[in-house]
Amino acid sequence: MTAPLRVLVTGAAGQIGYSIVIRIADGTVFGKEQPVQLVLLDVPQCANVLEGVVFELQDCALPTLHSVEAVTDEKSAFTGVDYAFLVGAMPRREGMERKDLLAANVKIFKSQGKALAEFAKPTTKVIVVGNPANTNAFIAAKYAAGKIPARNFSAMTRLDHNRALAQLALKTGTTIGDVKNVIIWGNHSSTQFPDVTHATVKKNGSETAAYDAVGDNAFLQGAFIATVQKRGGVIIEKRKLSSAMSAAKAACDHIHDWHFGTKAGEFVSMAVPSDGSYGIPQGLIFSFPVTIDAATREWKIVQGLNFDDFAKGKIAATTKELEEERDDALKACDDANI
């Protein structure tokens, strides 16, 4: 029998966590033959809610769910995990400045980074979903260093990637399966650069460059980018709640592809530590196009892509924001003497 994978979801009492756990438990993420031990972490105040989620998962009667446990302490949560979905984070509240938000999240992700180093496996793979995701991943990796390699940490830009796929499909009158190789560059924020320069769309049986398939450069460099960048805010305005379903699905897509590898000829967007590719500062958690080897489960940044001046400007802006976030977060570490 295949040994079970131990999978942690933090913030599991929240909307996104609730939507993630069923996909992990039912085999969507790791396959129908792979048993999982699911660990749900949240703050002690949410213990009753977590217990309710456990009851629901039990009631789903899922063959792939080997066990499920609800915990409120980091030692129990992080011990022996193979994959960690770090969803829980301090949300930005009205009147809160960015530096205050960063300081609050530095505390959370510093603690979780240290817990990963102390209790998790050195092979643990981590996705950070809680915002600001890129910088939270940077902090978690910093405090897990020495035990877990930085390249095992990632932040989610797959939601933006999926939004870009959907917008291209809608614009061209095709389906999601007909569109591939969109790219999200940079930060999971309003400075991200959704890029379709290297994307293709299958129409009438043949693959066409996205720019040719759309035939509207102004749209692709204007409304398309703005729609992807601002989609989360629009959904909050409409639902009065965040985009939990699509965020959860994207997080699961991200880990599914990390576990099984990307399809031949296709790449996906992941925020990973920069190795200096495309002039992005070393170590910055930056969204790149990546391919993932199915045998080794190692990601590799796609090389040799060219930028025009428009793209260079967009990438420079998101890089600047990420550098400022990183520096503010490191200052928060210093100010808190951590």
Sheet holding 285-292, edge to edge: 65-71, 36-41, 5-10, 83-86, 125-128, 153-155, 268-273, 285-292, 299-301
Let me know the angle formed at the C-alpha of 216 by 213 and 217, rounded to the nearest 5 degrees. Answer: 110
Per the listing, tokens 């990796």 go with 141
Q: Is 226 annotated as a binding residue?
A: no
Integer CA distances (angstroms), 224 to 169, 213, 229, 263, in order? 12, 14, 9, 25
Which of the 8 DSSP states describes residue 186? B
Radius of gyration of the chain (CA): 19
Q: Is 13 annotated as a binding residue?
A: yes
Q: Is 152 annotated as a binding residue?
A: no
Q: Is 105 annotated as a binding residue?
A: yes
- Partners of residue 179 on adjacent β-strands: 201
- Nearest-angstrom CA–CA distance, 166 and 179: 8
Query: Which residue from 111, 104, 68 is spatially nearest to 335, judged by alpha carbons?
Result: 104
Q: Is 92 annotated as a binding residue?
A: yes
Per the listing, tokens 């080897």 go with 293
Per the listing, tokens 């999601």 go with 176
- Nearest-angstrom CA–CA distance, 155 and 140: 11
- Nearest-angstrom CA–CA distance, 251 and 74: 21
Q: Is 12 annotated as a binding residue?
A: yes
Q: Is 293 annotated as a binding residue?
A: no
Phi-psi sector, 80: left (phi>0), alpha (psi -120 to 50), beta: left
Q: Is 163 annotated as a binding residue?
A: yes
Q: Is 129 annotated as a binding residue?
A: yes
Q: If you write DSSP's letter for every residue of 288-302 in order, what string do you get? A: EEEEE-TTT--EEE-
Q: Is 130 annotated as a binding residue?
A: yes
Q: Is 15 annotated as a binding residue?
A: yes
Q: Which of 161, 188, 254, 259 is catalytic?
A: 188
Residue 4: is the preceding peptide bond cis (ω within 30°)?
Answer: no
Please check whether residue 254 is in contact with residue 247, taking contact to mean a CB–CB distance below 8 angstroms. no
Q: Is 42 annotated as a binding residue?
A: yes
Q: Is 27 annotated as a binding residue?
A: no
Integer CA distances (angstroms), 63 to 67, 175, 178, 228, in order? 10, 32, 33, 37
198 is annotated as an active-site residue = no
**Residues catalogued as catalytic:** 188
Annotated binding site for substrate: 92, 98, 131, 163
Annotated binding site: 11-17, 42, 92, 98, 105, 129-131, 163
Annotated binding site for NAD(+): 11-17, 42, 105, 129-131
